[in-house]
């Protein structure tokens, strides 16, 4: 597959793009993925456990650069929240403030 798509992009991103394409073209209906998506959203907190364990196991390597990691985490979190808010407001304005 790497020879077909040589970009260094995770497979999950390709999967999301394929899902988006299928939904936009009508090849897949929203109702057909709703139950699965609801389930995945419900168990999302469990997905953070492996990352937290990995951080705990890497404490020796992180302890020397903890301040830099915390600053990078704070800045990226604020940027993501800001961009998400701006995009959400733009989409709400575009829809005319209607709830869907």
Q: Hey, where are the domains in the chain?
A: 8-55, 62-100
Euclidean distance between CA atoms 20 and 28, whole angstroms = 9
* pLDDT computed for residue 99 by the predictor: 61
Residue 38's Cβ-count burial label (10 Å; 0-12, 13-18, 19+) is exposed
Q: Each residue of 37-83: pLDDT tens digit? A: 999 999 999 988 998 898 889 888 888 898 998 999 999 999 999 99
Euclidean distance between CA atoms 72 and 44, whole angstroms = 23
pLDDT over 60 (residue 100): no
The C-alpha torsion from 14 through 27 and 41 to 46, rounded to 10°, is: -40
Q: Which long-range contacts (CB under 8 A, 24 or more apart) does 95-98 make?
A: none
DSSP state of 64: G
């Amino acid at each position: 597959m790497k020879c077909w798509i040589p970009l260094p992009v995770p497979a999950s991103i390709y999967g999301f793009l394929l899902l988006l394409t299928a939904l936009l073209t009508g090849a897949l209906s929203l109702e057909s993925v709703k139950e699965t998506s609801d389930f995945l959203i419900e168990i999302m907190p469990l997905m953070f456990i492996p990352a937290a364990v990995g951080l705990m196991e890497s404490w020796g390597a992180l302890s020397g650069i903890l301040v830099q990691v915390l600053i990078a985490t704070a800045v990226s979190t604020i940027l993501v929240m800001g961009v998400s808010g701006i995009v959400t407001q733009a989409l709400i304005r575009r829809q005319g403030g209607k709830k869907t």
